[in-house]
Amino acid sequence: MRDQVNGQSGKQYTLSQSIPYVGVGLHTGKKVSMVIQPNPEATGIYFMRSDVPRGQGLVLARWYNVVDTYLSTVLGNEYGVTVSTVEHLLAALHGCGIDHAIIRIDGPEVPIMDGSAEPFVSTLTQTGIVPVAAQRNGIWIFKPVEVREGDRFAILVPSARPRMTVSIDFPDTMVGTQALSVDINQAVFMKEIAPARTFGFNDQLEALRRRGFAKGGTLRNAVLVDGDRVANREGLRYADEFVRHKVLDCIGDLSLAGGPILGDYYAHKPGHNLNIALVNKLFAQREKWSYVSIDDMESLQRSRWTRHLEERSRTPVRSAYSLPRSGNRLRG
Ligand SMILES: [Zn+2]
């Protein structure tokens, strides 16, 4: 398709009409009403807290507005107004190709819905999208950018065909080691990633609640791991639902860069803190990437440089970032 590169459209989009949601916050346990509205002005994705004094409720969904990453990604503004657990909703908007929206919300936390991005994705796809008068630029990675913390890492590397490869390790639990490698495109996102639910461990729940977290968590909005079994009667949606949810979180966090990242993402034991640190480092290392229009990207893909990358990607370079193998590895 003429205006599609790596599944990315050269146009930018907003949704065609408003969509209302009602739900509870996973951590606050508070009931919230939320409406995702079109933003035809093409000024990005904004949260708008309707329960705070007029003029103080606007928060732009960008990495530099992240104020906390403990258990969820929290955005805030100069008035101390915050919106937490934004990652699943932002992943859904990004995955549905929506660049511009105003998210009106009457409380401090995005509703958790069923713990996945699926309820957002299904309503957004039913509603449909409309183009706005703005071209979409990709963030073309041409030198590796990485962050490490102990044995955890998150890396962006040049790639002619962007993929996300994530591994997690929860020893002594039924989650164990899981790894997943997927192409970054809308079809894979909707089918393989969006339905994966958030998860927690029964033996940590009491401590979390004493500290004021997970107050809204139930078996209807999270997978609860209890020793070597899943407490939810319906079981898992995928055998490797845990690592798929981690990929979902990573897509939401990386979308705070404000445009599609045209490079491979590799991460071991990623979390919101590591992802936000990676995006901060990316923007601090201006010599390692460039904004490109989709037209530029097309000529880049025809270039010798990209053919070189493609050849390289078939063999050695990936082994430097290879991850533990798992039986659930997916080649999207
Ligand atoms: Zn999550």
Per-residue pLDDT of the chain in tens (332 residues, 90 and over written 9): 334 555 567 889 999 999 999 999 999 999 999 999 999 999 999 999 999 999 999 999 999 999 999 999 999 999 999 999 999 999 999 999 999 999 999 999 999 999 999 999 999 999 999 999 888 899 999 999 999 999 999 999 999 888 999 999 998 889 999 999 999 889 999 999 999 999 999 999 999 999 999 999 999 999 999 988 999 999 999 999 999 999 999 999 999 999 999 999 999 999 999 999 999 999 999 999 999 987 777 676 666 666 665 665 554 434 334 444 443 434 33
Q: Cα–Cα distance between 215 and 171 in angstroms, integer?
A: 26
* Alpha-carbon distances, residue 92 vs 36, 117, 173, 225, 250 (angstroms): 12, 6, 29, 25, 12
What residues have CB less than 8 Å from 59, skipping those under 6 apart? Answer: 46, 47, 48, 49, 65, 75, 76, 77, 81, 82, 83
Q: Taking the CA atoms of 189, 190, 196 and 197 in sequence, report the sign of the dihedral they define.
A: positive
**d(CA 195, ligand 1 centre) in Å:** 11
For the 138-321 domain, the top CATH level (class) is alpha beta
**d(CA 142, ligand 1 centre) in Å:** 29
Q: Cα–Cα distance between 274 and 11 in angstroms, integer?
A: 30
Residues 123, 108 contacting (CB under 8 angstroms): no
Per-residue model confidence as pLDDT tens digits over 134-143 = 888 999 999 9
Residues 119, 113 contacting (CB under 8 angstroms): yes
All structural domains of the chain with their residue ranges? 4-136, 138-321
**d(CA 314, ligand 1 centre) in Å:** 32
CATH number of 4-136: 3.30.230.20
Catalytic hit among 88, 94, 268, 272: 272
Q: Cα–Cα distance between 28 and 87 in angstroms, integer?
A: 16
Annotated active-site residue 27? The verdict is no
Beta bridge mates, 20: 35
**d(CA 321, ligand 1 centre) in Å:** 24
**d(CA 268, ligand 1 centre) in Å:** 16
